[in-house]
């Protein structure tokens, strides 16, 4: 099978490895960064594209190269590309799978420090109103900084980001001190999060509800231990996404694949 994979997440790397090990498949993975493409190649992807792709270009690639399957394994908060992938699926009537990591199970977790909001704009307003003192650890990526920084001074702001050119340019544009930038290379451990809270004298942590694979539990546990607030942005809802197209683990992926193809 010829697979077009919208990637850039740890989930997508796991999918690449699993599909290559268990199926006769050729995989083209798209990511928004060269770093993501490098990880995809290391995971076994046959081809990669390392740039954001508009809808028309994705359609052109899918039709001109006879892809059999479109898998969207982008981040739960990359709502625009998932909305686009749903639209492409409906237009081309191509077999389609949305791999969506499960939401975090908070059953045995102390959630008393968590404040839920629906957007980064709301997060910025909440910090301005409720947490006017102390520094802010931003564990939510470079693309979300601007909405927060509309309400708080950059002097209080410490983003943990991937140190790529585009992210560093965003920091410069938003007047974020280069000494405040925390280099990101994957989800942090509990100890690493505690160390960051202590080092930067943080009173607030911003994070997405990105699932356990995104290190959410370690962030909450660290915040609980150091008695600081967690501003958690809840996942966006995707219009027209059919729940029957969604899988949340590799076993469910196999079931879907075997409805489309034989091993």
| pLDDT tens over the chain, length 263 residues | 999 999 998 899 999 999 999 999 999 999 988 889 999 999 999 999 999 999 999 999 999 999 999 999 998 878 889 999 999 999 999 999 999 887 777 778 888 999 999 999 999 999 999 999 999 999 988 989 999 999 999 999 999 998 788 899 999 999 999 999 998 777 789 999 999 999 999 999 999 887 666 688 999 999 999 999 999 998 878 878 888 999 999 999 999 998 887 65
Q: What pTM was estimated for this model as a whole?
A: 0.70
pLDDT at 31: 95
3-state SS assignment for residue 189: coil
Q: Taking CA 262 as the corner, what is the angle to CA 257 and CA 263, rounded to the nearest 5 degrees?
A: 90
Domain segments of the chain as ranges: 2-102+237-260, 114-233
Beta strand 135-139 with 202-208: parallel, antiparallel or unpaired? Answer: parallel
Q: Which helix (H) or strand (E) holds 26?
A: strand 26-31
pLDDT at 146: 95
Q: Do domains 2-102+237-260 and 114-233 have the same CATH topology?
A: yes
CATH of domain 2-102+237-260: 3.40.50.720
3-state SS assignment for residue 76: coil
125-160 in b/e form (b: 16+ CB < 10 A) is bbbeeebeeebbbbbbbbebbebbbebbebebbbbb
Q: Could you tell me which of 24, 3, 22 has the C-alpha nearest to residue 12? A: 3
3-state SS assignment for residue 215: coil
CATH of the domain spanning 114-233, picked from 3.30.428.10, 3.40.50.300, 3.40.50.1000, 3.90.1480.20: 3.40.50.1000
Give the pair of three-digit tokens for residue 116: 């839920």
pLDDT at 50: 94
């Amino acid at each position: 099978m010829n697979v077009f994979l919208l990637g850039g997440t740890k989930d997508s790397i796991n999918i690449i490895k699993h599909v290559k090990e268990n199926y006769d498949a050729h995989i083209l993975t798209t990511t928004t960064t060269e770093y993501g493409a490098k990880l995809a190649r290391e995971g076994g992807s046959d081809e990669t594209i390392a740039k954001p792709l508009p809808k028309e270009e994705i359609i052109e690639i899918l039709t001109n190269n006879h892809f059999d399957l479109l898998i969207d394994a982008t981040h739960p908060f990359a709502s625009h590309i998932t909305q686009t992938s749903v639209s492409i699926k409906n237009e081309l009537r191509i077999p389609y799978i949305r791999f969506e990591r499960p939401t975090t199970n908070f059953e045995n977790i102390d959630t008393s420090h968590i404040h839920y909001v629906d957007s980064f704009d709301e997060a910025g307003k909440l910090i301005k109103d409720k947490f006017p003192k102390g520094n802010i650890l931003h564990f939510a990526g470079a693309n979300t900084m601007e909405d927060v920084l509309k309400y708080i001074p950059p002097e209080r702001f410490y983003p943990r980001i991937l140190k790529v050119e585009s992210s560093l340019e965003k920091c410069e544009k938003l007047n974020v001190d280069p000494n405040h930038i925390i280099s990101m290379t994957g989800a942090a451990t509990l100890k690493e999060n505690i160390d960051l809270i202590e080092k930067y004298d943080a009173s607030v942590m911003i994070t997405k509800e990105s699932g356990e694979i995104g290190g959410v539990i370690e962030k909450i546990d660290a915040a609980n231990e150091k008695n600081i607030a967690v501003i958690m942005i809840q996942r966006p809802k995707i219009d027209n996404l059919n729940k029957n197209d969604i899988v949340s683990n590799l076993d469910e992926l196999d079931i879907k694949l075997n409805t489309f193809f034989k091993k």
